[in-house]
Amino acid sequence: MPWDALWLNAHLATMATGRTKYGAIRDAALGIAGGRIAWVGRRADLPGRPEVLATAVHDAGGQWITPGLIDCHTHIVYGGNRAHEFEMRVEGASYTEIAKAGGGILSTVRATRAAAEAELLEGASRRVAQLASEGVTALEIKSGYGLDRATEEKQLRVARRLGERFGLTVRTTYLAAHTLPEEYSGRADDYIAFVCEEGLPQAAKAGLIDAVDAFLEKIAFNEAQTRRLFERARALGLPVKLHADQLSDGGGAATAAAFDGLSADHLEYTSDAGVAAMAAAGTVAVLLPGAFYFLRETKLPPIAALRRAGVPMALSTDCNPGSSPVTSLLLMLNMGCTVFRLTAEEVLHGVTRNAASALGLTASHGTLEVGKAADFVLWRIAGPAELAYAVGANPCTGVVGGGRPRVLARAAG
């Protein structure tokens, strides 16, 4: 018996490059074995009778199957929330003003330092359950609300535990260069030295880091500080990514590209030169419509230029308490289309194939192709565009992760 399971009576959005939109195959079959995809194609082309080919045969009832969705940029592990700052902002204060007044990221740093590890795990679990209920099977989780050794590592340990608890693929990103902690006030270079010489190598040694990120911005770190950190990361064999050009053009896209960055993220203020550098380096553009919307930004990222240059575009929630308290990747598909003017096919590539690329997971994730992880989602829809179309709907009826059916945990709140 070659395969463990086979799905029949399904339409596949494989998201693989091919002749059809969405890499679609209608009236298809999908076989899996040993946690990997073993066969993808038209039902009519199956090499034998289903019962002979697989131990378990499932009827998908005419539903669509996509690859497991990938949320490639989250800060989902944090203490407290920032509803009070939202209240201030809607009454007129700006994000930058709140940050300068000691609020913003630093208020979440205080809450995250104070929270016990179990408390962080429970808080983040509610949010991760929400993402998983919409078909997310892999996500990236950043540190960056600790800014000291113990708390950064606490966040990263929670990230790893979330992966185990939910059976999800989790990629961790070390973001100690998120903002300057209060105890280093006026000494940003000293803080970067601490991060490079102690925080980063020690957390890496503990096996907690898959990639390194920084916030290159006027209210955070400058280019020289970012480069110093990236040099250290690359010397340790770790890939980099960057919060780039979110609130102003700091040359972030080009800086990420110069270090063969997996991705440059946000990009609202990225210049043509930054786009060209990303295209040359193969750096993925991670677009975050939730943050754009939530901060009521008006300057759109250079979507047309990215498209023209052939830069792969991914899309993510940026789930965080300050600028994007978003736990719906499906909502990001809709906003990617309505707010950023991406096509329905582009946004779906953005949470599958290109999101895998932003995490260095291209070989194993992001498309329905033989040899890749058996991570996929069943949807009660008439076509893939429906995933980007409806707001607040969740047509997910089943998830398979690593070849195993998932219980869809609906979040308590």
- Three-state SS at 97: helix
Q: Rank residues 11 and 243 by Cβ distance to Fe ion and give the closer one.
A: 243
46 with 328: CB under 8 angstroms? no
79 with 119: CB under 8 angstroms? yes
Q: Within 365-384, which residues bind ligand DI6 (CB under 6 A)?
A: none
Judged by CB under 6 A, the stretch of 3-11, 183-191, 233-241, 315-323 that binds ligand DI6 is: 315-323
Q: Is residue 217 involved in binding Fe ion (CB under 5 A)?
A: no
Q: Is residue 68 involved in binding ligand DI6 (CB under 6 A)?
A: no
71 with 131: CB under 8 angstroms? yes
Q: Rank residues 58 and 127 by Cβ distance to Fe ion and give the closer one.
A: 127
Q: Is residue 89 involved in binding ligand DI6 (CB under 6 A)?
A: no
Q: Rank residues 4 and 245 by Cβ distance to ligand DI6 and give the closer one.
A: 245
Residues 344 and 256: their CA atoms lie apart, in Å, by 27
Chosen residue from 321, 336, 384, 403 binding ligand DI6 by CB under 6 A: 321
184 with 106: CB under 8 angstroms? no
Chosen residue from 103, 123, 239, 322 binding ligand DI6 by CB under 6 A: 322
Helices 149-166 and 117-133, interaxial angle, to 10°?
A: 40
H and E: helices and strands count for the chain: 17, 16
| Smallest distance from ligand DI6 to CB 205, Å | 25
Q: Is residue 105 involved in binding ligand DI6 (CB under 6 A)?
A: yes
| Smallest distance from ligand DI6 to CB 403, Å | 35
Q: Which does 322 bind (CB under 5 to 8 A by kind): Fe ion, ligand DI6, none?
A: ligand DI6
Q: Within 186-245, which residues bind ligand DI6 (CB under 6 A)?
A: 215, 243
b vs e for 215-236, b when ≥16 Cβ sit within 10 Å of the residue's Cβ? bbbebbbeeebbebbbebbeee
Within 8 A by CB and 6+ apart from 246, the residues are 217, 265, 266, 267, 268, 269, 291
Q: Rank residues 321 and 350 by Cβ distance to ligand DI6 and give the closer one.
A: 321
| Residue tagged 């408390």 (tokens) | 119
Q: Within 278-297, which residues bind ligand DI6 (CB under 6 A)?
A: 291
| Smallest distance from Fe ion to CB 40, Å | 34
Residues 206 and 200: their CA atoms lie apart, in Å, by 10
- Strand 64-67 relative to strand 69-71, pairing: unpaired
9 with 61: CB under 8 angstroms? yes
Judged by CB under 6 A, the stretch of 55-63, 104-112, 306-314, 355-363 that binds ligand DI6 is: 104-112
Q: Rank residues 204 and 291 by Cβ distance to ligand DI6 and give the closer one.
A: 291
Chosen residue from 140, 318, 346, 375 binding Fe ion by CB under 5 A: 318
Closest listed residue to residue 354, CA positions, set 283, 304, 253: 283
Residue 279, both tokens? 């295209």
Q: Is residue 246 involved in binding ligand DI6 (CB under 6 A)?
A: yes
Phi, psi of 207 (to 5 degrees): 75, 25
| Smallest distance from ligand DI6 to CB 322, Å | 2
Cα angle 233, 180, 71 (rounded to 5 degrees) comes to 60
Q: Rank residues 5 and 212 by Cβ distance to ligand DI6 and give the closer one.
A: 212
Q: Which does 105 bind (CB under 5 to 8 A by kind): Fe ion, ligand DI6, none?
A: ligand DI6
Helices 149-166 and 105-114, interaxial angle, to 10°?
A: 80
Q: Is residue 245 involved in binding Fe ion (CB under 5 A)?
A: no
Chain residues binding ligand DI6 by CB under 6 A are 75, 104-105, 108, 178, 215, 243, 246, 291, 318, 320-323
Chain residues binding Fe ion by CB under 5 A are 318
